[in-house]
C-alpha cells in the first residue's frame, strides 16, 4: 500500500429501523465488524439520542469505525478507517451492511496519508524519526 490507511465513507439505505435505534445492538454490530475484518478493539462509545438515533465509535488499534443513525429514515452514515495492510475495511462494510439489513449502500474510498516518500509506508514505524 502506498498510503498509511484506507478510509471508507458509506451511506446505508433502507436499514432495519429498530436496529438503528438500539444502542446495544449497534455497538455489538460495530464490534463484530471490527473483529471480522481483523482489527484490534481498543474501546467503544455509543450514545442514544432523544427521541431517536444512535451515534457510536469503535476505536481500533488500526484507527476507527463510526456510525450515525437516523431510524426515522432507515438511514445510517458509516465511517471505517483502517491503517496498515492487515485489516480490510471492505469486510467491515459488508458485515455492517448485512447486520443492519441495508438494501443498498453508496461508498466512497479514500487513501489517507499518501506521503510523497520513496520508502514503504507503515502505520506503525519501527523507530520514530523526527526531522
Q: Which residues are marked as active site?
A: 63, 68, 83
**Residue 94 in contact with residue 36, Cβ under 8 Å?**
no
Q: What are phi and psi of 10, to 5 degrees?
A: -135, 150
Cα–Cα distance between 44 and 22 in angstroms, integer?
A: 15
Cα–Cα distance between 112 and 25 in angstroms, integer?
A: 30
Cα–Cα distance between 40 and 60 in angstroms, integer?
A: 5
DSSP code at position 93: H
Amino acid at each position: 500500500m502506498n498510503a498509511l490507511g484506507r478510509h471508507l465513507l458509506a451511506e446505508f439505505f433502507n436499514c432495519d429501523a429498530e436496529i438503528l435505534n438500539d444502542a446495544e445492538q449497534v455497538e455489538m454490530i460495530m464490534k463484530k465488524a471490527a473483529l471480522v475484518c481483523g482489527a484490534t478493539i481498543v474501546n467503544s462509545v455509543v450514545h442514544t439520542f432523544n427521541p431517536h438515533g444512535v451515534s457510536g465509535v469503535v476505536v481500533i488499534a488500526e484507527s476507527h469505525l463510526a456510525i450515525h443513525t437516523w431510524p426515522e429514515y432507515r438511514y445510517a452514515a458509516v465511517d471505517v478507517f483502517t491503517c496498515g495492510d492487515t485489516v480490510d475495511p471492505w469486510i467491515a462494510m459488508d458485515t455492517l451492511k448485512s447486520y443492519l439489513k441495508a438494501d443498498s449502500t453508496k461508498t466512497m474510498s479514500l487513501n489517507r496519508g499518501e506521503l510523497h516518500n520513496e520508502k514503504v509506508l507503515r502505520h506503525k514505524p519501527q523507530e520514530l524519526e523526527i526531522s
